[in-house]
Amino acid sequence: MLSLRVITALCLALAAPPSAHAAPGDTFASGYADAAMALMSPCPEAAARCFGVRLHVTEGDDATPVVTGAWLAEQVAHAELVFADVAVGFEVVAVVPGGAELHRVLTRAERDAIGREAYDRRVIDVWVVAQLANVDDPGDIRGVHWRDRERRSDRWILLSAVAPAQVLAHELGHFFGLPHNDTPGSLMNNIGDPTPAVERRFAAAEQRKVTGSARRFAKARAPVDRRAPETKRSR
């Protein structure tokens, strides 16, 4: 069952354009991160495995984050909705400034550079930028699951500020090992499908693959510890 915060985030998202930038003055220095974190829910209790997500939000030249906190919450809430089918959950562990230098990512080298220094294999790093260029053809794209070309085991997700609600879930599908396909109704279908994008889910075979990947990741990516603080063992 979705939490009240997830439902609220989805409702707020419907009321706001998906590309809405943070308001002038709404900066990390003025409490943007805390306000965004307040919109996030803890990992769903029904999730068998939960993974931490760290959101890096780049800033424009005026230090304003390229998206609102509500935009972030919308993306995470939809990912929770899709991955609930495979008992996988996500918990945002931090919203951090991504800087202004690479708020427009136009080349492969910039895709490498944006995530390389901050990479932490214990979490899923997501970078939100104002513009994400298609490096294969003219134009822009809405998101990408990217592997560092110098160290292929290091990878992260990039989202454009114009990405609609389902894009983080789609890129997480790639993160968990799913390729594009032509299956009707699949979230990973990229060749045209009459199914509304927000209604697409993983096909049965995809669900099995995600479940297997989640099992492997749980051994290497420090899943979120959901035990009550008083029951956690000291380290």
112 phi-psi bin (left φ>0, alpha ψ -120 to 50, beta other): alpha
- Mean pLDDT value of segment 5-20: 45
pLDDT tops 70 at residue 173? yes
What pLDDT, on the 0 to 100 scale, is given for residue 3?
54
- Mean pLDDT value of segment 14-22: 53
Cα dist from 83 to 47, 169, 202, 214, whole Å:
9, 8, 8, 11
**Distance of alpha carbon 32 from the chain centroid:** 18
Is 231 or 192 the better-scoring residue by pLDDT? 192
DSSP string, 82-108: HHGGGTEEEEEEEEEE--STTSEE-SH
What pLDDT, on the 0 to 100 scale, is given for residue 226?
57
Q: Taking Cα atoms as reference points, which of 124, 190, 161 lies closest to residue 17? A: 161
pLDDT tops 80 at residue 7? no
Q: Taking Cα atoms as reference points, which of 189, 156, 160, 174 lies closest to residue 79? A: 174
pLDDT tier for residue 17 given thresholds of 50, 70 and 90: very low
The three-point CA angle 12-13-16 to 5° equals: 90
Interval 49-65: pLDDT, tens: 999 999 999 999 889 99
Interval 124-163: pLDDT, tens: 999 999 999 999 999 999 999 999 999 999 999 999 999 9
CA–CA dist 174, 162 (Å, integer): 19
What amino acid is encoded at 233 in this protein?
Answer: R
All residues at 6 or more sequence positions from 57 whose CB lies less than 8 Å from its CB, including other chains: 32, 36, 65, 66, 67, 72, 95, 96, 97, 98, 128
What pLDDT, on the 0 to 100 scale, is given for residue 20?
61
pLDDT tops 80 at residue 186? yes
CA–CA dist 173, 79 (Å, integer): 9
Report yes or no: 89 and 47 within 8 Å, Cβ to Cβ.
yes
What pLDDT, on the 0 to 100 scale, is given for residue 22?
87
0.75 exceeded by pTM? yes
What pLDDT, on the 0 to 100 scale, is given for residue 25?
79
Interval 90-130: pLDDT, tens: 999 999 999 999 999 999 999 999 999 999 999 999 999 99
- Mean pLDDT value of segment 23-36: 92
The SS3 call for residue 186 is strand
- Mean pLDDT value of segment 190-205: 94
pLDDT tier for residue 39 given thresholds of 50, 70 and 90: very high
Taking the C-alpha atoms of 62, 63, 69 and 71 in order, what is their torsion angle to the nearest 10 degrees?
50
